[in-house]
A and B are shown apart, each in its own frame.
Chain A
Amino acid sequence: MTTAAIVDTRPRTLAEKVWDKHLVAKGENGTPDLIYIDLHLVHEVTSPQAFDGLRLAGRPVRRPDLTIATEDHNTPTLAIDRPIADLTSRTQIETLRKNCAEFGVRLHSLGDIEQGIVHVVGPQLGLTQPGITVVCGDSHTSTHGAFGAMALGIGTSEVEHVMATQTLPLKPFKTMAITVDGTLRPGVTAKDIILAVIAKIGTGGGQGYVLEYRGSAIRALSMEGRMTICNMSIEAGARAGMVAPDATTYAYLKGRAHAPAGDDWDAAVEYWDTLATDDGATFDAEVILDANTLEPFVTWGTNPGQGVSLSDTVPNPAEIDDANERSAAERALEYMDLAAGTAMKDIHVDTVFLGSCTNSRVEDLRAAAEIIKGKSIADGVRMLVVPGSARVRIEAEAEGLDKIFTDFGAEWRFAGCSMCLGMNPDQLAPGERCASTSNRNFEGRQGKGGRTHLVSPLVAAATAIRGTLSSPWDLVQDGIVPAGLVPASL
Chain B
Amino acid sequence: MQKFTTVTGVAVPLRRSNVDTDQIIPAVFLKRVTKTGFEDALFYGWRQDPEFILNQAAYQSPKVLVAGADFGTGSSREHAVWALRDFGFDVVLSPRFGDIFRGNAGKQGLLAAQISEDDAETLWATLEATPGIELTVDLVAYTASVGDLTVSFEVDEYTRWRLLEGLDDIGLTLRDEARIAEFESQREPWRPRTLPARQVNL
B129 within 8 A of partner (CB)? no
The docked-state distance in angstroms from the alpha carbon of A257 to that of B201 is 9
Contact flags B184-202 to A (C-beta < 8 A → 1, else 0): 1001111111110111101
B107 within 8 A of partner (CB)? yes
B119 within 8 A of partner (CB)? no
Given contacts A36-B183, A49-B34, contact A167 B173 (CB under 8 A): yes
Across the interface, do B78 and A157 meet the contact criterion of CB distance under 8 Å? Answer: yes
Determine which of B78, B180, B188, B197 lies in contact with A167 in the assembled complex, contact meaning CB atoms within 8 Å.
B180
Across the interface, do A64 and B170 meet the contact criterion of CB distance under 8 Å? Answer: no
Determine which of A126, A165, A395 lies in contact with B174 in the assembled complex, contact meaning CB atoms within 8 Å.
A165
Contact flags B7-50 to A (C-beta < 8 A → 1, else 0): 00000000000000000000000010111100000000000000
The docked-state distance in angstroms from the alpha carbon of A395 to that of B33 is 34
Across the interface, do A95 and B188 meet the contact criterion of CB distance under 8 Å? Answer: no
Residues of B within 8 A of A39 (CB): 192, 194
Residues of A within 8 A of B78 (CB): 49, 156-157
A276 within 8 A of partner (CB)? no
Say how far B99's CB is from chain A's closest CB, in angstroms. Answer: 16
Contact flags A130-173 to B (C-beta < 8 A → 1, else 0): 00100000000000000000000000110011001111010000
Say how far A421's CB is from chain B's closest CB, in angstroms. Answer: 15
Across the interface, do B179 and A157 meet the contact criterion of CB distance under 8 Å? Answer: no
B117 within 8 A of partner (CB)? no
Residue of B nearest to A156 (CB): B78
Contact flags A1-30 to B (C-beta < 8 A → 1, else 0): 101100000000000000000001100000
Interface residues of A in 80-135 (CB under 8 A from B): 88, 91-92, 95, 106, 126-129, 132
A34 within 8 A of partner (CB)? yes
A398 within 8 A of partner (CB)? yes
Say how far A52's CB is from chain B's closest CB, in angstroms. Answer: 4
Across the interface, do A106 and B194 meet the contact criterion of CB distance under 8 Å? Answer: yes
Given contacts A57-B170, A157-B169, contact A52 B36 (CB under 8 A): yes
Determine which of A52, A156, A161 lies in contact with B34 in the assembled complex, contact meaning CB atoms within 8 Å.
A52
Across the interface, do B169 and A161 meet the contact criterion of CB distance under 8 Å? Answer: yes
Say how far A258's CB is from chain B's closest CB, in angstroms. Answer: 5
The docked-state distance in angstroms from the alpha carbon of A24 to that of B184 is 9
B176 within 8 A of partner (CB)? yes
Contact flags A155-194 to B (C-beta < 8 A → 1, else 0): 0110011001111010000000000000000000000000
Across the interface, do A394 and B179 meet the contact criterion of CB distance under 8 Å? Answer: no
Residue of A nearest to B197 (CB): A106
Residues of A within 8 A of B174 (CB): 164-165
Give the interface centre of B35, B169, B188, B197 by most chain A CB atoms within 10 Å. B35
Determine which of A65, A255, A268 lies in contact with B193 in the assembled complex, contact meaning CB atoms within 8 Å.
A65
Residues of A within 8 A of B170 (CB): 57, 59, 160-161, 164-165
Residues of B within 8 A of A57 (CB): 1, 168, 170
The docked-state distance in angstroms from the alpha carbon of A398 to that of B198 is 22
Given contacts A24-B179, A56-B36, contact A169 B194 (CB under 8 A): no
The docked-state distance in angstroms from the alpha carbon of A132 to that of B190 is 11
Across the interface, do A260 and B36 meet the contact criterion of CB distance under 8 Å? Answer: no
A53 within 8 A of partner (CB)? yes
Q: A59-B170, A128-B192, A161-B170 are in contact. List 8 more A-B contacts (CB 8 A).
A: A56-B35, A65-B194, A129-B191, A166-B180, A169-B169, A255-B200, A257-B198, A391-B202
Which B positions have Cβ atoms within 8 angstroms of A? Answer: 1, 31, 33-36, 78, 107, 168-170, 173-174, 176, 179-180, 183-184, 187-195, 197-200, 202
21 chain-A/chain-B pairs, Cβ below 8 angstroms: A24-B179, A36-B183, A49-B33, A52-B34, A52-B36, A56-B35, A57-B168, A57-B170, A66-B193, A91-B33, A92-B33, A127-B194, A129-B191, A132-B191, A160-B170, A164-B173, A258-B194, A260-B190, A267-B188, A267-B190, A398-B202
